[in-house]
Amino acid sequence: MKQGYSKPKALLFDVFGTLVDWRGSLIRQLRAFGEARGLDQVDWPGLADAWRGRYAPSMDEVRSGRRAWTVLDDLHRESLLALLPKFGLEQRLEEEEIEGLVRGWHRLDPWPDVSGGLARLHERFLLAPLSNGNVALMANLKRHAKLPWDCILGAELARHYKPDPEVYLTAMALLRLAPQEVMMVAAHNDDLAQAQALGMQTAFVPRPTEHGPNQTTDLAADGAWDFVVASTEELADRLCDNGEVDLLRG
Amino acid sequence: MKQGYSKPKALLFDVFGTLVDWRGSLIRQLRAFGEARGLDQVDWPGLADAWRGRYAPSMDEVRSGRRAWTVLDDLHRESLLALLPKFGLEQRLEEEEIEGLVRGWHRLDPWPDVSGGLARLHERFLLAPLSNGNVALMANLKRHAKLPWDCILGAELARHYKPDPEVYLTAMALLRLAPQEVMMVAAHNDDLAQAQALGMQTAFVPRPTEHGPNQTTDLAADGAWDFVVASTEELADRLCDNGEVDLLRG
């Protein structure tokens, strides 16, 4: 292992894609909603993908300063409303149904390794999400997916969206930890690039089906991340067992 | 029960005194430190009380605007340093020993009812601290005392100390809940008075030995709180069982 390497004290996790399968969860939720409502001509997987397709552009409006701070729940809602006509749903949903679909982002299911991996990591490290999801969304998701967070950090506390540096810096200030004491864990290279630029440790957990079977992005590490692991269980193997950290396998 | 009463969706808890026995915990820690260091002529209970005695005045400097926002860990440290001469400890402690004593506030033990009471409440309600302790302190205390928080709210996120209204308002904004959807739970009447003034529900849990055997404050409710209970277990009895809320016993 590297000379002088020190394990982090806290691990911060990206959530959408890294820990929870937003696409599979949304498609299941939307299909169940469609069946219950007798809406059987709707392309629900297409709606899930189109909804997420508006995610980055909606945050760009805030990142650029063109729009005042707006939480992700509200961006999700606006994006869904904008897509309803294209999917034949305009004026066919009640207000509380729309609200229920938006709240689907609070009930996403974790990837199969997450429960066991995070439980082991939690025995040794302080764990928190560092997500673009707002605090209420993350708190509800914590309850739904039983994520062992010690606190909830992220975009809303900085009023900036990742990868703006303010999100990472605010989290470290709240934890009162130096960058090298904190590890960012994500399935997205751009998230890790910003964390590393700020001096944080990094771990890449690729999720090659986050965007479905034809995913083309983030299939492999494109930076010199401290760890590259196939799952949170493997990250626990590397960080928790026997007190030694095997960086060479990364 | 009252007509039209709606249970809260989230419960916010005061922590020091309401959930954890700061005085008993600090005295135990200080005595153990004294024994380990052979410092046997020190009035450790007196130091614990004097340390907490500087708590309110130190926050008043921030509340009044005379001093810029400063987190509680730093106020605790300054207060301890100021007290060392009076207790015969000046220049007798190493820097890391001082840091260890200040970190004692991250390792306070809960009252006996808290583990069971909060576990039951957590099944039905979103739970979070609303403390003057900073986020890192609360996150470490969560781990030590095994408190089932869904997120950590409190003074640092508002950069104000309770009972400044900004602390309560920031928490409700982050939860995206209306005041009547949130209950403040505390052993201190002034905390509940501010919460009620802002429209929140209130529950008083007296802790008549928080300040030791001769406590004179907060022995009884001095406001029309929604619930007055002897413990968090009784609060769970009242809020969780059988779906009915018995307000008349309050």
Q: Are residues A29 and A16 in the same domain?
A: no
* Shortest Cα distance, chain B CAs vs residue A235, angstroms: 21
pLDDT of residue B1 exceeding 60: no
pLDDT of residue B250 exceeding 50: no
> Taking CA atoms, what residue in B is nearest to A123?
B143
Name the DSSP class of A176. T
Enumerate long-range contacts of B194-198, CB under 8 Å, 24 or more apart: B194/B162, B194/B163, B194/B165, B194/B168, B195/B12, B195/B168, B196/B223, B196/B224, B196/B225, B197/B165, B198/B165, B198/B168, B198/B169
As a whole number of Å, the CA-based R_g of chain B is 19
Chain A residues within 8 A of B157 when measuring between CB atoms: 157
Structure tokens at A96: 């509380």
pLDDT at B55 (0 to 100): 96
How far does Cα A64 stand from its chain's mean position? 21
Q: Are residues B78 and B47 in the same domain?
A: yes
pLDDT at A4 (0 to 100): 74
Cis peptide bond prior to A208, omega within 30° of 0? no
- Residue after which a domain boundary falls, among A76, A106, A136: A106
Rounded (5°) CA angle B26-B30-B32? 120
- Report the half-sphere exposure of B131 (CA within 13 A, side-chain side): 29
- The contacts of residue B169 (CB under 8 Å, 6+ apart) are B158, B198
Structure tokens at B7: 């249970």
pLDDT at A68 (0 to 100): 98
Rounded distance, CA A160 to CA B9, Å? 27
Residues A162-201: tens digit of each pLDDT = 999 999 999 999 999 999 999 999 999 999 999 999 999 9
pLDDT at A242 (0 to 100): 58
| Average pLDDT of span B185-192 | 98
Rounded distance, CA A198 to CA A175, Å? 15
Report residue A241's pLDDT band, with 50, 70 and 90 as the boundaries. confident
Q: Are residues A82 and A14 in the same domain?
A: no
Rounded distance, CA B172 to CA B164, Å? 14
pLDDT of residue B142 exceeding 70: yes
Rounded distance, CA B72 to CA B102, Å? 10
- Residue after which a domain boundary falls, among A55, A87, A106: A106
Task: Give, for A228, the enclosing helix (H) or strand (E).
Answer: strand A227-228
The CATH number of the domain holding residue B50 is 1.10.150.240
Report yes or no on B167 lying in a domain.
yes
pLDDT of residue B245 exceeding 70: no
Beta carbons of A143 and B152 less than 8 Å apart: no
Best of B130, B137, B151 to disrupt the A interface by mutation (most A CBs within 10 Å)?
B151
- Residue after which a domain boundary falls, among B63, B84, B106: B106
The CATH number of the domain holding residue B151 is 3.40.50.1000
B249 touches chain A (CB under 8 A): no
B151 touches chain A (CB under 8 A): yes
Which structural domain, as residue segments, surrounds residue A138?
Answer: 10-21+108-243
Report yes or no on A180 lying in a domain.
yes
A12 touches chain B (CB under 8 A): no
Q: To the nearest whole number, what is the mean pLDDT of chain A?
A: 95
* Shortest Cα distance, chain A CAs vs residue B52, angstroms: 23
Report yes or no on A174 lying in a domain.
yes
Report yes or no on A5 lying in a domain.
no
Q: Are residues B101 and B138 in the same domain?
A: no
Report residue A244's pLDDT band, with 50, 70 and 90 as the boundaries. low
Sheet holding B126-131, edge to edge: B153-154, B126-131, B10-13, B182-186, B201-204, B227-228
pLDDT of residue A161 exceeding 50: yes
Structure tokens at B242: 């059988």
Report yes or no on A249 lying in a domain.
no
Chain B residues within 8 A of A136 when measuring between CB atoms: 174-177
Q: Are residues B112 and B134 in the same domain?
A: yes
pLDDT at A250 (0 to 100): 43
How far does Cα A29 stand from its chain's mean position? 18
Report yes or no on B49 lying in a domain.
yes
Q: Are residues B210 and B121 in the same domain?
A: yes
Report yes or no on B250 lying in a domain.
no
> Taking CA atoms, what residue in A is nearest to B176?
A136
Residues A19-75: tens digit of each pLDDT = 999 999 999 999 999 999 999 899 999 999 999 999 999 999 999 999 999 999 999
pLDDT at B40 (0 to 100): 87
Q: Are residues A52 and A133 in the same domain?
A: no
pLDDT at B241 (0 to 100): 72
What ipTM was reported for this prediction? 0.95
- The contacts of residue B237 (CB under 8 Å, 6+ apart) are none
pLDDT at A2 (0 to 100): 54
Please give the tally of structural domains in chain B.
Answer: 2
Report residue A231's pLDDT band, with 50, 70 and 90 as the boundaries. very high
- The contacts of residue A125 (CB under 8 Å, 6+ apart) are A7, A8, A9, A10, A11, A239
Report yes or no on A65 lying in a domain.
yes
Q: Are residues B55 and B96 in the same domain?
A: yes
A138 touches chain B (CB under 8 A): yes
Best of A144, A174, A175, A182 to disrupt the B interface by mutation (most B CBs within 10 Å)?
A174
Q: Are residues B112 and B194 in the same domain?
A: yes
Q: Are residues B160 and B228 in the same domain?
A: yes
Q: Are residues A196 and A228 in the same domain?
A: yes
Q: Are residues B43 and B27 in the same domain?
A: yes
Beta carbons of B142 and A156 less than 8 Å apart: no
